[in-house]
Amino acid sequence: MGAGIRILLVGIAGLLVGAWLMTVVAPKVPSSTLNWPIVAVVKRVRPSVVVVVNNRVAEKKEQAKGMGSGVIMNRDGDIVTNYHVVQGADSLTVILSDNRRYKATVVGVDPPTDLAVIRIHATHLVPATFASSANIEPGELVVAIGNSLGLTHTVTVGVISAKDRVLFRDGWQYHLIQTDAAINPGNSGGPLVNTRGELIGINSSKIAQTGVEGIGFAIPSDTVRHVVDQLLEFGRVRRPWIGATLVPTTQRTLGMLVVSVTPKSPAAVAGVKPGDFLESVNNHPVHRVRDVIKVLEKSGVGERIRLGLLRGNQHLSLSVTLQELPSSISKKAS
C-alpha cells in the first residue's frame, strides 16, 4: 500500500472518529428550540379558527357551494367571518379545529365592511385574543391562518405592507391592512395575527391579476370589534348620518361645497343650506368626503357634532344631532 493511500485512509478515519465524538460529547439541543417562533403562534391561534361552509339547496338536496374561514369571538359561540363567505347561503356549517361540526345561524351581516357574525351552540370553545390595529407598523411580521383552497388550517407568513389602504369595491369604501402573506380563496374570514398570536385583522381579499403577487388585504381588528359589537347588540351596524351631499372644491381653503340637503335630515334641522361651504367637522378641517367619514366613524347615533360653515362672507358654527343612516339612502351618502 502506497504512502499516499495510507495518509488518505488515516484522514478518513479521523473524520469519522471526530463526527462520532461530536454526537457523544456535544450537548443535545432541545427540539423545541429549533422551531421557528411561528410554530408557537399557530398552536395558540389554531383552536380559535374554524371552517365555514356555505350550503345551497339544489334539486331539494343541500350541497356545499363555498368554503371560508371564521374566528371564534367568545365562549357563547359567536364567530366572525366575511359577509361574502355567508352570502346567499341556505344553511351554514361550522367545523371546529377538533373536527366537531355544528349548524350555524346568522346573527347579523354588514356588507360595507364585508363582515358577518354567525353563532353556534358548542362547548369548550377557545376565543381569539385581540390586539388594536392602531398599533401595527409596516414591516411587522404577521401570520395568516385559514382554509385556503379547501386545505384546512393553512398557515402563511409575511409582513404588514401598509397600514391603511383605501379600496373601493361595489360602491363601498374599505380601509384595510395590506400584507404579503399569501391570501387565497378559503382564507376569507380567517385571522391575521401578530407574533404574540393576537388578532390584528380578518383576512378578506387579494388582488387576483396575472403578474401580481403578494398583495393581500385584511380588515383591521379595531373595525372588526366595532362592527361585531354593533351586530351583537342591534343585528346591524348603526351608522351616523348628516344628510348633506358634499363635493370637494378646487380651493382647499373653502373646504367642501354643500350641493344638496335631504329634507328633515340632521343637516336640514340644524340649518345647513345648499351653497354653504363645509370647512370643518368638530374642529377638524375637511377637504374630502373621507375627512368627514373619519370624524363620523368616531361618533355615534344620537351624538352631537359641530359643523364649521362658510355662507357668503359669514363663518357659522352649527350643532348637528346625528341620526342613523336610513336604509333607503344611497350607499354613497355622507
218, 177 in Cβ contact below 8 A? Answer: yes
Give the integer Cα–Cα distance in Å for 245 and 275: 11
31-59 residues labelled b (16+ CB within 10 A) or e (exposed): eeeeeeebeebbebbebbbbbbbbbeeee
Give the integer Cα–Cα distance in Å for 287 and 267: 18
Return the SS3 of 204. strand
The one-letter amino acid code at 84 reads H
Nearest Cα neighbor of 272 from 317, 240, 333, 322 is 317
The one-letter amino acid code at 28 reads K
H/E run at residue 149: none
Catalytic residue ranges:
84, 114, 188
Return the SS3 of 189. coil
Residue 257 exposure: Cα atoms within 13 Å on the Cβ side: 7
Give the integer Cα–Cα distance in Å for 200 and 177: 9
The one-letter amino acid code at 80 reads V
